[in-house]
Amino acid sequence: MSVRSIALGSVVVCGLGVGVGACEPAAPCTVTENADGSASISCPDGSSATVAPGTNGVDGTNGSNGSTGGDGTNGTNGTDGTDGVDGTDGVDGADGVDGTDGLTCVIQTDVAGDRSKECSDGSSEHVFIGELTPVDLNLPIDGSRNTIVADFTGDGIDDAFQAQGATLSNAQISTDRLFVGDGRLGFTQALGTGLTDDGFSIFATAADFDGDGALDVFVSKQARPSRVYDNNGGLFTDTGVSYRRAYSSGVTGDIDGDGDIDLVGCAGVEDEIVLLRNVGGGLVEEPAPGFTADCNPVAMNDVDGDGDLDVMVGSNDLHLLVNDGTGSFSVVAVDLAVDRIFSLSAVDVDGDGRQDMVAGLANRNGVLPAEGIAVWRNTSTGGTASFERILQPGVASFAGSEHGTGDLDDDGDLDIVIRARGAANVFFNDGTGLFEEVAVFPITNTGCGSAPEHRSPDRWRS
């Protein structure tokens, strides 16, 4: 039997249970449930009633759902949202700004001479402090055609390889030489290096041609075959492969995307650019088709931004060898309105990610104009090569023919050193390709041949 209360006129019928509403035990009534679900009620006062089954009065209990409305009081939790105002305590975090009062920075100098500012908030930046100081490397220059500064012995310290021609003083022949570095800008000539040929060197460059991790050396000879020396920790072995052309300059890189290092050389006598492809660790000569102009300086970089290495060739003007990615080149003449390019670098001077150009200029008879070094911004678009001269309003003269580029002040951009007659001029870059002269160092005879080549990563280019 279910518990229910039913109203019959003025009579309240109480269901089973106790303490329900106005039900009083003084007037008990008898409730009998019938088989059809109805209920018969008989009371002591003689009244009676029959209640039909399924009376909806039971649904009246739904009224208790009204208490659910009490959940509305949960809305007062919204006032707890004012705790968000407590979030203004975050303003107290501004005390951290006060903490900057305690910020301290110190200048650190590592063993390589690189300087950086390290601060207590974890920030750091490269800085340039003090003055540039010329250092005498005590390397002999008599008869030296060019010098390669790189780690040839595998100890992490730069050494120096010199390609030797006839000496200036008495025209006697000397062999190529290796000088071992001590890490403090001191060099000592190494003996027993395997470099026993009889000089006549006119150009040399270094790269790991055989992929063993050591820098090998390609040496070009005058009136004698050029050759490659395999390097094993500073001990050199002639590979036995000779090349008939005499190369006055050259650059190395993977021109055909096969993972090994090739060489692009300027054969000055033949006036041709030659590709020396690396095949199984050996270089194979292959003249670049379509190039017939005079050549001397060459530079290599991704000039058109398509992911492969292109070649710049200095001549009476600029010639660009555009690579298709396989080492096949098309020759594009770029009119820079100059007489002759004497030295050449393909580097990013303005920080836009594209390879610009720094060139040493001369008249056709070799006489240097008042502005010997010039800078061009790479403005190539849509596969069309073009360059725009960057005027240097703050530079009275870029006089000189040979140059090198590198980040001398550790500020993330490339500076220029120019070798002029009797001096080395240093120009700092402001990051946009505009340069300011900061130092001039008198120099004595630097020998004949090209400027030093530096092979340590990101430190110096020439």
The low-confidence residues of the chain, meaning pLDDT below 70, are 1-29, 37, 45, 49, 51-103, 105-117, 125-131, 142-143, 166-173, 198-199, 363-371, 394, 396-397, 399-401, 444-462
Q: What is the pLDDT of residue 364?
A: 55
Q: What is the pLDDT of residue 317?
A: 82
Q: Report pLDDT digits (tens) over 5-19.
A: 333 333 333 333 333
CA distances to 5, 39, 182, 204, 432 from 414, in Å: 98, 105, 26, 24, 10
Q: What is the pLDDT of residue 456?
A: 44
Q: What is the pLDDT of residue 188?
A: 93
Q: What is the pLDDT of residue 131?
A: 62
Q: Report pLDDT digits (tens) over 160-171.
A: 999 887 644 555
Q: Determine the 3-state secondary structure of 204 from DSSP.
A: strand
Q: What letter would DSSP give residue 95?
A: H
**Cα 370 off chain centre by:** 36
Q: What is the pLDDT of residue 312?
A: 94
Q: Backbone dihedral region of 387: left (phi > 0), alpha (psi from -120 to 50 degrees) or beta?
A: beta
Q: Determine the 3-state secondary structure of 297 from DSSP.
A: coil
Smallest Cα–Cα separation from 175: which of 204, 202, 149, 195? 195
Q: What is the pLDDT of residue 445?
A: 53
Entry pTM: 0.67
